[in-house]
Amino acid sequence: MLTDKQWTIAVLGGTGKEGKGLASRWAKAGLSVVIGSRNADRAKETATEINAAKPPLSVTGDNNLKATQTAEIVVLSVPYSAHRETLDTIKSAMQGKILVDVTVPLVPPKVTKVQMPPAGSAALEAREILGDAAEIASAFQNISYEHLQGNGEIGCDVLVTGTSKETRAVALELVAKAGLNGWDAGPLENSMVAEGLTSVLIHINKVYGSTHAGIRITGVANKNKPSQEISN
Ligand SMILES: NC(=O)c1ccc[n+]([C@@H]2O[C@H](COP(=O)([O-])OP(=O)(O)OC[C@H]3O[C@@H](n4cnc5c(N)ncnc54)[C@H](OP(=O)(O)O)[C@@H]3O)[C@@H](O)[C@H]2O)c1
Protein backbone atom coordinates (compact mmCIF):
# COMPACT_ATOMS: atom_id res chain seq x y z
CA MET A 1 0.00 0.00 0.00
CA LEU A 2 2.75 2.47 0.89
CA THR A 3 4.51 1.95 -2.42
CA ASP A 4 1.26 1.78 -4.43
CA LYS A 5 0.07 5.13 -3.11
CA GLN A 6 3.48 6.80 -3.56
CA TRP A 7 3.15 8.29 -0.10
CA THR A 8 5.95 10.54 1.10
CA ILE A 9 7.39 9.96 4.55
CA ALA A 10 8.93 12.88 6.43
CA VAL A 11 11.43 11.83 9.10
CA LEU A 12 11.74 14.72 11.56
CA GLY A 13 15.00 14.40 13.48
CA GLY A 14 16.21 12.36 10.50
CA THR A 15 19.61 14.02 10.92
CA GLY A 16 20.01 12.08 14.18
CA LYS A 17 20.93 8.50 14.99
CA GLU A 18 17.56 6.72 15.02
CA GLY A 19 15.85 8.80 12.32
CA LYS A 20 18.73 8.44 9.88
CA GLY A 21 18.66 4.67 10.27
CA LEU A 22 14.91 4.51 9.59
CA ALA A 23 15.05 6.97 6.67
CA SER A 24 17.85 5.04 5.04
CA ARG A 25 16.03 1.70 5.36
CA TRP A 26 12.79 3.12 3.93
CA ALA A 27 14.60 4.78 1.02
CA LYS A 28 16.34 1.49 0.25
CA ALA A 29 12.90 -0.20 0.28
CA GLY A 30 11.72 2.19 -2.45
CA LEU A 31 9.71 4.66 -0.37
CA SER A 32 9.76 8.41 -0.95
CA VAL A 33 11.55 10.00 2.03
CA VAL A 34 12.23 13.59 3.09
CA ILE A 35 14.50 14.34 6.03
CA GLY A 36 13.27 17.06 8.41
CA SER A 37 15.48 19.19 10.62
CA ARG A 38 15.41 22.49 12.47
CA ASN A 39 17.93 23.51 9.82
CA ALA A 40 17.17 22.80 6.13
CA ASP A 41 20.88 22.69 5.18
CA ARG A 42 21.54 20.03 7.82
CA ALA A 43 18.62 17.98 6.45
CA LYS A 44 19.99 18.26 2.91
CA GLU A 45 23.45 17.15 4.11
CA THR A 46 21.95 14.04 5.71
CA ALA A 47 19.94 13.33 2.55
CA THR A 48 23.14 13.55 0.48
CA GLU A 49 24.85 11.16 2.91
CA ILE A 50 22.01 8.60 2.61
CA ASN A 51 21.84 9.01 -1.18
CA ALA A 52 25.49 7.95 -1.50
CA ALA A 53 24.35 4.32 -1.04
CA LYS A 54 24.81 1.82 -3.88
CA PRO A 55 22.61 1.92 -5.88
CA PRO A 56 22.11 5.67 -5.27
CA LEU A 57 18.94 6.88 -3.54
CA SER A 58 16.87 10.07 -3.92
CA VAL A 59 16.07 11.25 -0.39
CA THR A 60 15.46 15.00 -0.02
CA GLY A 61 15.79 17.33 2.98
CA ASP A 62 14.06 20.44 4.31
CA ASN A 63 13.10 22.19 7.51
CA ASN A 64 10.62 20.36 9.75
CA LEU A 65 7.55 22.34 8.67
CA LYS A 66 8.23 22.12 4.94
CA ALA A 67 9.09 18.43 5.21
CA THR A 68 5.75 17.87 6.98
CA GLN A 69 3.87 19.84 4.32
CA THR A 70 5.20 17.55 1.58
CA ALA A 71 4.43 14.28 3.39
CA GLU A 72 1.41 12.09 4.16
CA ILE A 73 3.20 10.24 6.97
CA VAL A 74 5.36 12.12 9.50
CA VAL A 75 7.80 10.20 11.67
CA LEU A 76 8.95 12.03 14.80
CA SER A 77 12.37 10.97 16.07
CA VAL A 78 13.73 13.70 18.35
CA PRO A 79 14.91 13.74 21.98
CA TYR A 80 11.97 14.03 24.38
CA SER A 81 13.18 17.51 25.40
CA ALA A 82 12.42 18.64 21.81
CA HIS A 83 9.15 16.70 21.41
CA ARG A 84 6.59 19.41 22.25
CA GLU A 85 8.48 22.17 20.45
CA THR A 86 8.74 20.10 17.25
CA LEU A 87 5.02 19.18 17.35
CA ASP A 88 4.08 22.84 17.87
CA THR A 89 6.18 23.71 14.79
CA ILE A 90 4.38 21.23 12.52
CA LYS A 91 0.86 21.26 14.01
CA SER A 92 -0.59 23.55 11.31
CA ALA A 93 0.48 21.07 8.60
CA MET A 94 -0.72 17.84 10.29
CA GLN A 95 -4.38 17.94 9.27
CA GLY A 96 -5.41 14.54 7.88
CA LYS A 97 -1.93 13.02 8.21
CA ILE A 98 -0.45 10.19 10.25
CA LEU A 99 2.18 10.86 12.91
CA VAL A 100 4.41 7.90 13.82
CA ASP A 101 6.02 8.84 17.12
CA VAL A 102 9.36 7.16 17.89
CA THR A 103 10.13 9.38 20.86
CA VAL A 104 10.96 7.85 24.24
CA PRO A 105 10.33 10.18 27.20
CA LEU A 106 13.75 9.61 28.75
CA VAL A 107 14.68 12.12 31.44
CA PRO A 108 18.49 12.20 31.80
CA PRO A 109 20.43 11.30 33.81
CA LYS A 110 18.04 8.57 35.11
CA VAL A 111 17.40 6.95 31.72
CA THR A 112 17.11 3.48 33.28
CA LYS A 113 14.03 4.59 35.22
CA VAL A 114 10.59 4.81 33.56
CA GLN A 115 9.43 8.43 33.84
CA MET A 116 6.23 8.96 31.85
CA PRO A 117 4.96 12.51 31.31
CA PRO A 118 1.62 13.59 32.86
CA ALA A 119 -0.26 12.68 29.64
CA GLY A 120 0.78 9.04 30.21
CA SER A 121 3.33 8.70 27.39
CA ALA A 122 5.08 10.74 24.72
CA ALA A 123 2.60 9.49 22.10
CA LEU A 124 -0.41 10.47 24.25
CA GLU A 125 1.19 13.86 24.75
CA ALA A 126 1.48 14.14 20.95
CA ARG A 127 -2.26 13.44 20.72
CA GLU A 128 -2.94 16.18 23.29
CA ILE A 129 -0.84 18.65 21.26
CA LEU A 130 -2.20 17.75 17.81
CA GLY A 131 -5.80 17.18 18.92
CA ASP A 132 -8.00 15.47 16.34
CA ALA A 133 -6.03 16.90 13.41
CA ALA A 134 -3.98 13.75 12.89
CA GLU A 135 -4.01 10.02 13.45
CA ILE A 136 -1.15 8.89 15.69
CA ALA A 137 0.86 5.68 15.89
CA SER A 138 3.77 4.86 18.17
CA ALA A 139 6.57 2.46 17.18
CA PHE A 140 10.33 1.61 17.09
CA GLN A 141 11.08 2.66 20.72
CA ASN A 142 12.90 -0.61 21.44
CA ILE A 143 15.10 -0.72 18.31
CA SER A 144 18.64 0.58 18.75
CA TYR A 145 19.96 2.91 16.04
CA GLU A 146 23.02 0.66 15.76
CA HIS A 147 20.71 -2.07 14.49
CA LEU A 148 18.94 0.29 12.09
CA GLN A 149 22.17 1.64 10.60
CA GLY A 150 23.67 -1.84 10.23
CA ASN A 151 22.79 -4.69 7.89
CA GLY A 152 22.66 -7.58 10.34
CA GLU A 153 19.61 -9.43 11.62
CA ILE A 154 17.70 -7.41 14.21
CA GLY A 155 16.77 -9.55 17.22
CA CYS A 156 14.02 -7.29 18.46
CA ASP A 157 10.33 -6.98 17.60
CA VAL A 158 8.44 -3.70 17.20
CA LEU A 159 5.29 -2.99 19.23
CA VAL A 160 2.92 -0.74 17.26
CA THR A 161 0.11 1.13 19.00
CA GLY A 162 -2.16 3.73 17.47
CA THR A 163 -5.40 5.69 17.42
CA SER A 164 -7.10 3.24 15.01
CA LYS A 165 -6.42 -0.17 13.54
CA GLU A 166 -6.04 1.45 10.09
CA THR A 167 -3.33 3.74 11.48
CA ARG A 168 -1.58 0.79 13.10
CA ALA A 169 -1.78 -1.09 9.80
CA VAL A 170 0.07 1.75 8.04
CA ALA A 171 2.72 1.85 10.79
CA LEU A 172 3.08 -1.95 10.59
CA GLU A 173 3.78 -1.59 6.88
CA LEU A 174 6.53 0.91 7.70
CA VAL A 175 7.95 -1.60 10.19
CA ALA A 176 8.00 -4.31 7.52
CA LYS A 177 9.56 -1.95 4.95
CA ALA A 178 12.34 -1.29 7.48
CA GLY A 179 12.98 -5.05 7.58
CA LEU A 180 11.56 -5.55 11.06
CA ASN A 181 8.93 -7.75 12.69
CA GLY A 182 6.00 -5.71 14.02
CA TRP A 183 2.96 -6.48 16.19
CA ASP A 184 -0.37 -4.71 16.48
CA ALA A 185 -0.12 -3.88 20.20
CA GLY A 186 -3.42 -2.06 20.51
CA PRO A 187 -4.64 1.47 21.23
CA LEU A 188 -2.35 4.45 21.67
CA GLU A 189 -2.82 4.22 25.46
CA ASN A 190 -0.62 1.07 25.29
CA SER A 191 2.30 3.14 23.95
CA MET A 192 3.45 3.70 27.53
CA VAL A 193 4.48 0.03 27.67
CA ALA A 194 6.76 0.19 24.60
CA GLU A 195 8.14 3.57 25.68
CA GLY A 196 8.74 2.28 29.23
CA LEU A 197 10.38 -0.91 27.96
CA THR A 198 13.21 1.20 26.55
CA SER A 199 14.36 2.12 30.06
CA VAL A 200 14.12 -1.56 31.04
CA LEU A 201 16.30 -2.55 28.05
CA ILE A 202 18.85 0.20 28.82
CA HIS A 203 18.97 -1.09 32.41
CA ILE A 204 19.48 -4.68 31.21
CA ASN A 205 22.27 -3.51 28.88
CA LYS A 206 24.01 -1.81 31.81
CA VAL A 207 23.65 -4.72 34.24
CA TYR A 208 24.69 -7.44 31.78
CA GLY A 209 27.27 -5.47 29.75
CA SER A 210 25.32 -5.75 26.50
CA THR A 211 24.41 -3.12 23.92
CA HIS A 212 21.54 -4.76 22.07
CA ALA A 213 18.95 -6.08 24.51
CA GLY A 214 15.61 -6.50 22.75
CA ILE A 215 12.21 -8.13 23.01
CA ARG A 216 10.45 -10.92 21.13
CA ILE A 217 6.74 -11.81 21.27
CA THR A 218 6.41 -15.58 21.59
CA GLY A 219 3.57 -18.09 21.56
CA VAL A 220 1.72 -16.75 18.51
CA ALA A 221 1.44 -19.59 16.01
CA ASN A 222 -0.43 -17.88 13.20
CA LYS A 223 0.78 -14.32 12.99
CA ASN A 224 -0.37 -13.64 9.45
CA LYS A 225 -3.93 -14.71 10.13
CA PRO A 226 -5.33 -12.80 13.12
CA SER A 227 -8.31 -14.80 14.37
CA GLN A 228 -10.26 -12.07 16.15
CA GLU A 229 -11.77 -8.95 14.61
CA ILE A 230 -11.13 -5.88 16.75
CA SER A 231 -13.16 -2.71 16.67
CA ASN A 232 -10.49 -0.01 16.84
N1 LIG B 1 19.19 6.19 19.58
C2 LIG B 1 18.52 5.05 19.72
O3 LIG B 1 19.09 3.95 19.65
C4 LIG B 1 17.02 5.10 19.94
C5 LIG B 1 16.31 3.89 19.98
C6 LIG B 1 14.93 3.92 20.15
C7 LIG B 1 14.27 5.14 20.29
N8 LIG B 1 15.01 6.30 20.29
C9 LIG B 1 14.30 7.57 20.47
O10 LIG B 1 14.30 8.23 19.23
C11 LIG B 1 14.42 9.64 19.43
C12 LIG B 1 15.64 10.14 18.66
O13 LIG B 1 16.79 9.53 19.21
P14 LIG B 1 18.24 9.82 18.59
O15 LIG B 1 19.18 8.97 19.35
O16 LIG B 1 18.18 9.73 17.12
O17 LIG B 1 18.44 11.36 19.01
P18 LIG B 1 19.52 12.39 18.54
O19 LIG B 1 20.42 11.78 17.49
O20 LIG B 1 20.17 12.95 19.76
O21 LIG B 1 18.63 13.56 17.92
C22 LIG B 1 17.81 13.38 16.80
C23 LIG B 1 17.57 14.73 16.16
O24 LIG B 1 16.65 15.49 16.93
C25 LIG B 1 16.76 16.86 16.52
N26 LIG B 1 16.51 17.78 17.60
C27 LIG B 1 15.48 18.64 17.62
N28 LIG B 1 15.50 19.38 18.72
C29 LIG B 1 16.57 19.00 19.43
C30 LIG B 1 17.10 19.42 20.68
N31 LIG B 1 16.52 20.37 21.43
N32 LIG B 1 18.22 18.85 21.10
C33 LIG B 1 18.82 17.90 20.34
N34 LIG B 1 18.34 17.46 19.15
C35 LIG B 1 17.21 18.02 18.70
C36 LIG B 1 18.16 17.00 15.94
O37 LIG B 1 17.96 17.31 14.58
P38 LIG B 1 18.19 18.79 14.00
O39 LIG B 1 19.27 19.43 14.85
O40 LIG B 1 18.66 18.49 12.63
O41 LIG B 1 16.89 19.46 14.10
C42 LIG B 1 18.79 15.63 16.08
O43 LIG B 1 19.58 15.28 14.97
C44 LIG B 1 14.53 9.85 20.94
O45 LIG B 1 13.27 10.17 21.47
C46 LIG B 1 15.02 8.51 21.43
O47 LIG B 1 14.67 8.25 22.78
C48 LIG B 1 16.35 6.29 20.09
Ligand 1 proximity of 37 Cβ (cutoff 6 Å): yes
Q: What is the pLDDT of residues 102-131, one digit of tens each?
A: 999 999 999 999 999 999 999 999 999 999
State what percent of residues in the chain have pLDDT above 70: 96
CATH of the domain at 163: 3.40.50.720
Q: What is the pLDDT of residues 181-214, one digit of tens each?
A: 999 999 999 999 999 999 999 999 999 999 889 9
Rounded to 10 degrees, the C-alpha dihedral 88/90/92/97 comes to: -120
Q: Count how many domains the chain has.
A: 1
Residue among 17, 76, 113 whose CB has most ligand 1 atoms within 8 A, to mutate: 17
pLDDT confidence tier of residue 227, bands split at 50, 70 and 90: low
Contact in structure between 86 and 64 (CB atoms under 8 Å) = yes
pLDDT value of residue 228: 66
In a domain? residue 53? yes
State what percent of residues in the chain have pLDDT above 90: 89
Residue among 49, 78, 87, 202 whose CB has most ligand 1 atoms within 8 A, to mutate: 78
Backbone angles phi, psi at 53, to 5 degrees: -65, 165
In a domain? residue 213? no
Domain span at 116: 8-208
pTM exceeds 0.85: yes
- Of 115, 14, 3, 129, the closest CA to residue 61 belongs to 14
Q: What is the pLDDT of residues 146-186, one digit of tens each?
A: 999 998 889 999 999 999 999 999 999 999 999 999 999 99
In a domain? residue 227? no
In a domain? residue 115? yes
Ligand 1 proximity of 77 Cβ (cutoff 6 Å): yes
Query: What atom in ligand 1 is closest to the CA of residue 102?
Result: 10
